[in-house]
Amino acid sequence: MKVRHWIYFIAGFLVFWLILSCLINNIYILPSPFMVIEIMIKLLFATSFYSSIFMSVFRAVLSVIVSFIVAVLVAIISLRNHFISSLLEKTILVLRSIPNVTYVILLLFWVSRETMVFIVSFLLLFPIIYQNIFESLKEQENLWHDVLMIYPQSMYVTVTRIYIPLMKSAVVSSLISASSLAFKVGVMAEILGQVQTGIGRQIQLARLDIDLASVMAWTIWLILIVFVFDALIKKLLHLITR
């Protein structure tokens, strides 16, 4: 049923796009879907296509893994230390108040473009993952507080035997939301930072050439990559947590 709904949606969208492009009749404002699809197919035969995708995927995966590991460790520490928890709460509030573009501009003064992409992704992913994990840990602690007071356990046993098994839903939701966001944030940082290789770089070059069809082709490829990556993450997490 879901597949059929997707087919209807895509078919309807393509028909609407085709009609609109015919009415506008200007490839610089809205190219036809046939033109964009043709460019998408041509990209498959270009070496830069695969190197760009590899670099963008690598940056996204690395930022998700590092953000998740750091967020889990910090959440566990925060659970036991009210001062750190309070400090992080204020820090995250400040981080979320800063526009993404500001991160890019500031970091370009201090680090390389490649490093900037990773740091920007981390600064945006870490608060989301940390908050989900911390709230889940806090909820589990409230539920098990009385039991642990009667039967005290070491921190290792408490985390590995109680918290982690009961946190599967929070971990899964955090990783799924973070993986999708990592691509969006990463490509945005690639475009603004003008890195040497990546999907953002290709979109930026197409923009400079006033080639809207190529911009749309790369954007659609990015959407497809995010869908595939999201499906793989869900499948992997399902196998791990079942």
Q: Where are the domains of the chain?
A: 34-241
Binned at pLDDT 50, 70 and 90, residue 50 comes out as very high
**Locate tokens 């610089």: which residue?**
28
**High-pLDDT (> 70) share of the chain, %:** 84
pLDDT for res 217: 93
Binned at pLDDT 50, 70 and 90, residue 231 comes out as confident
Residue 152 has pLDDT above 70, yes or no: no
Higher pLDDT, 155 or 172: 172
pLDDT for res 93: 85
Helix ranges restricted to H, the chain: 2-24, 33-43, 47-80, 82-97, 100-110, 113-150, 155-157, 164-166, 168-193, 199-208, 212-241
- Which of 114, 111, 124, 102 has its CA nearest to residue 200? 114
pLDDT digits (tens, 9 = 90+) for 186-205: 888 888 888 888 898 999 99
Residue 215 has pLDDT above 60, yes or no: yes
Residue 218 has pLDDT above 90, yes or no: yes
Alpha carbon distance 162, 164 (integer Å): 6
pLDDT for res 5: 76
Alpha carbon distance 207, 211 (integer Å): 6
Virtual torsion, Cα 226, 180, 8, 30, nearest 10 deg: -70
- Which of 33, 6, 5 has its CA nearest to residue 17? 33
Residue 103 has pLDDT above 60, yes or no: yes
Query: What is each CA distance from 153 to 93, 177, 234, in whole angstroms?
Result: 33, 33, 33
Binned at pLDDT 50, 70 and 90, residue 97 comes out as confident
Region 108-130: mean pLDDT is 88
**pLDDT mean across residues, the chain:** 82
**Domain at 34-241: CATH code:** 1.10.3720.10
Alpha carbon distance 133, 141 (integer Å): 12
Report helix, strand or coil for 15: helix
- Which of 226, 237, 239, 212 has its CA nearest to residue 17? 212
pLDDT digits (tens, 9 = 90+) for 5-14: 788 888 888 8
Query: What is each CA distance from 128 to 58, 97, 104, in whole angstroms?
Result: 20, 13, 19
80 Cβ neighbours under 8 A, 6+ residues apart: 155
Stated pTM of the model: 0.83
Residue 39 has pLDDT above 90, yes or no: yes
Region 100-122: mean pLDDT is 87
